[in-house]
Amino acid sequence: ETGVTQTPRHLVMGMTNKKSLKCEQHLGHNAMYWYKQSAKKPLELMFVYNFKEQTENNSVPSRFSPECPNSSHLFLHLHTLQPEDSALYLCASSPLGQASSGANVLTFGAGSRLTVL
């Protein structure tokens, strides 16, 4: 276990369904992220939360709706998705205030493999 747990690991949904992805970390980190990983493309940063506040929305379509109720939990609510949204969705977390060490290292979960039919 990496310290970041994602559920479900696999999800198949129709375009009219509503589902949610869950991410949980108990590393004491204060920043959480959603990334999208598609074949042959760089990882795409979707959302960033710092201390439960959204600080980054990388032009993500509104059919993806994030929620961060506390610093340990992050959700990605999905509705009316398209087949091109099929991908591996990775959650990550990191501590803040690491400027003195020069790098803010991310810890990733194992991902949720989403297939949209």
Which residues of the chain form contacts with another protein (CB under 8 A)? Answer: 2, 4, 6, 31, 33, 40-43, 45, 48, 50, 56, 90, 92, 94, 96, 98-99, 101-111
Cβ 106 to another protein, closest distance in Å? 7
Q: Are strands 53-57 and 44-50 parallel, antiparallel or unpaired?
A: antiparallel
The two tokens of residue 85 are 């949204």
C-alpha dihedral, 2 to 60 to 117 to 43, nearest 10°: -40
Contact 19, 11 (CB under 8 A): yes
Cβ 78 to another protein, closest distance in Å? 19
Q: Are strands 107-108 and 112-116 parallel, antiparallel or unpaired?
A: unpaired
Nearer to another protein, 32 or 78 (CB): 32
Cβ 108 to another protein, closest distance in Å? 3
Nearer to another protein, 14 or 58 (CB): 58
